[in-house]
Structure 1
Amino acid sequence: MVGTELKRNRDADDSGKTALPGNVKVTKEDWLNLAMDLLVSHGVSEVKVQVIGNRLGVSRSSFYWYFKSREDLLNQLLAKWEQTNTGVLIRYSELKAATITEAVTNFFRSIVAPGGFDHQLDFAVREWARRDKAVRQVIDRSDSARHEALMRMYERFGYPSAEADIRARVLYYQQIGYYALELSETLEERLARVEGYLYCFTGVQPSRNEVEAFFEFARNPGRT
């Protein structure tokens, strides 16, 4: 439905490991962020220890301070994707809302929020999964978790389970499909359809206040 070009969150989270001693201040998060950039831009085959180390300007010892092997790096990269992309969709779907239409706008906010859902990363992981059955299993698990969270969102507002299941699928698959089709629309073009989308996804007409509140967030996501 609605999406903007998002930058991945660069906040440091070194999982208890401090940076290497000495003059080189390269953190675990630096390795993961650059690995993620390479995954998105060139695919998993280019996520190589030497390539990342050269770009960071550090030796392989820096890598082995934080990771046991390239496989360990890839596993942690996949876990980071689950924590961010899947985690953010679930968190926003669970936010407090007075109506189902407000709850759906919360889901929309997860797409446009700074540090929110990153569709380029999502499709990079899906492409990776085409070549790795273990990654495919993680993708399937994440898709199920996302769907179940949206289903619960509908159920909170009294939708029967069968209907909540279908509406959750329509909402999620439509959003993913938007990116898969690489539709070229301006933000304002997308916002013009928000009220109609909300009605289609819920069967309820949203209030003007709900629509306007989302418009303000979408146009100024870093200030709201």
Structure 2
Amino acid sequence: MPQSGRLQSRMAHAAREAWVDAARDILISGGFPALNLRGLAGSLGVTTGAFYSAFSGLEDLHEALRQKWRDQNTTPLVAALTDAGADGFRQYLAGLRVTVLETGIDPRFDNAVREWAHSSPRTAQVLAEVEALRIDLLARMFLALGFDDKRAQIRARITYFHQVGYGAMEIHDDPDERLLNLRFYAEALTGRSDLMVCGTAEEVRAFILTGLPPGSKSR
């Protein structure tokens, strides 16, 4: 592809991303009823006509927004647990790194998509697919932790329902308190007390990041 063609392609991609990011922000702040073309264009400071140079129509944008949600709120978790290898507890810690220590996954985005799914069959389909993927990922983690198939499935559901509820209630714990509470959540959900050796929030954070307990010479 000639240089000018590659530049045009990058510019077109950037334009689409700008529209999708604006749509995500409006969906989160105002819900799907607020997601209209006039409001989108106004948030970007462009005319509504500019929209059609990036998308074929609103459903094209909606599908890109659904994919944005997958990419932002699910793909990092899948990658983290996969990269953690076969050890179930390392997978659990990897999941904590993504969902607790990092800032990319946004529970508000999940909440907005769930609300959108009430009025959109396509969004409901995508939501069901993603939630099944997440629960299956957790079930495989619990299998790796040594639970039999049925117990792995039930623990996966409990863990997922806990995460969904935490996000839906928009709980805002003190950051240190939340880290310290992870010791008890880990024990209740996985049956492992590894994190209980941590006495401070910073030790919990370090354990999650490194997989090594406090005082480990390898740290």
TM-score using structure 2 length: 0.80
Instruction: Identify which of structures 1 and 2 has the higher relative contact order when contacts are C-alpha pairs closer than 8 Å and 6+ apart.
Output: 1
**Which residues of 2 match residues 1-12 of structure 1 at below 5 A?**
none
Rg (Cα) greater in structure: 2
Q: Deviations over 1:6-57 (max 9, x none)?
A: xxxxxxxxxx93326xxxx962111110110000001112212222112212
Cα distance in 1 between the residues matched to 2:55 and 2:101: 30
Partner AA of 1:17 in structure 2: S
Please point out which of 1, 15, 18 is paired with 2:10: 18
Cα distance in 2 between the residues matched to 1:67 and 1:180: 31
| Unmatched segments (≥5 aa) in structure 1 | 1-15, 220-224
Counterparts in 2 of 1:119 and 1:186: CA distance versus 1, 3 Å: same
Say whether the 8 Å CA contact 1:26–1:56 is kept in structure 2: no
3-state SS, counterpart of residue 78 of structure 1: helix
Tell me, yes or no, if structure 1 residue 124 matches structure 2 residue 112. yes
Q: CA deviation at 1:213?
A: 6.0
Please point out which of 107, 121, 141 is paired with 2:95: 107
Tell me, yes or no, if structure 1 residue 173 matches structure 2 residue 164. no
Cα distance in 2 between the residues matched to 1:82 and 1:147: 14
Cα distance in 2 between the residues matched to 1:89 and 1:186: 24
Q: Which residue of 2 aligns with 1:4?
A: none
Cα distance in 1 between the residues matched to 2:165 and 2:123: 20
Q: Deviations over 1:66-96 (max 9, x none)?
A: 1100111111101111222122222222231
| Unmatched segments (≥5 aa) in structure 2 | 1-7, 210-219
Runs of 4+ aligned residues of structure 1 deviating over 4 Å after TM superposition are: 211-214
TM-score using structure 1 length: 0.78
Cα distance in 2 between the residues matched to 1:131 and 1:49: 18
Larger deviation: 65-74 or 188-197?
Answer: 188-197
Q: CA deviation at 1:144?
A: 0.2
Tell me, yes or no, if structure 1 residue 72 matches structure 2 residue 64. no
**Which residues of 2 match residues 19-168 of structure 1 at below 5 A?**
19=11, 27-96=15-84, 99-168=87-156
Cα distance in 2 between the residues matched to 1:212 and 1:115: 17
